[in-house]
Amino acid sequence: KNQVEQSPQSLIILEGKNCTLQCNYTVSPFSNLRWYKQDTGRGPVSLTIMTFSENTKSNGRYTATLDADTKQSSLHITASQLSDSASYICVVGPLGDMRFGAGTRLTVKP
Amino acid sequence: KAGVTQTPRYLIKTRGQQVTLSCSPISGHRSVSWYQQTPGQGLQFLFEYFSETQRNKGNFPGRFSGRQFSNSRSEMNVSTLELGDSALYLCASSLITGSDSPLHFGNGTRLTVT
């Protein structure tokens, strides 16, 4: 069983709308949680990195939250743009022992 | 600053052959890690090198190996290729090794084994 579960598997929204992606993990011990954006045919790009003590971290229109007690994280995208269409991957654990979620495929339509 | 460069971009090999992939990290970055990405398994960690030493290794067979040179450039080698090795191989670099180091990924090498 994957130790990092992401939902939904895919999502379609209209341009300008907000959306929230979920990541639940069972990885222990916890070191940090990362969100990446991966465009088709390209490598992942880091959006946020959160450690145990951080609840919220923002990067432009992307805001990640972390609840270490419930082992849940979310990535909120505000005022979506067509360029937000990509896969979003949640990663938990230190370099060398990273556990990857399967990703959420987001499509933003005009 | 130039990003992480991976070569070649695409590769087609036959079962049983071997292949070498190359990764040039961002200038000044000393940690290089490798990942395999497939539609079925998603992203999986292969290994990490820091200052020419392998620091961590994922759960892959010994056919997968790598090395890092004194200029931090890295290569990974896959011997006796199998059909299941078809994947996107990604390399990432970071300034230092450690749990909170941001990773910078290249755009990968797409390997197809026939």
- First and final CA of chain A: distance in angstroms? 37
CB-based contact, B103 to chain A, within 8 Å: yes
Could you tell me the CA-to-CA distances from B23 to B18, B76, B101 in Å, in that order?
17, 8, 18
**Alpha-carbon distance B9 to nearest alpha carbon in chain A (angstroms):** 10
The pLDDT of residue A1 is 61
Nearest-CA residue of chain B relative to A42? B107
Using CB atoms, which residue from B42, B101, B102 is nearest to A103? B42
Nearest-CA residue of chain A relative to B104? A45
**Alpha-carbon distance A14 to nearest alpha carbon in chain B (angstroms):** 26
pLDDT of chain B along its 114 residues, tens only? 789 999 999 999 999 999 999 999 999 999 999 999 999 889 999 999 999 999 989 999 999 999 999 999 999 999 999 999 999 999 999 987 766 778 999 999 999 999
A73: nearest Cα among A48, A108, A105: A48
**Does residue B95 or residue A80 have the better pLDDT?**
A80
Quick one: tokens of B74? Answer: 């890295």
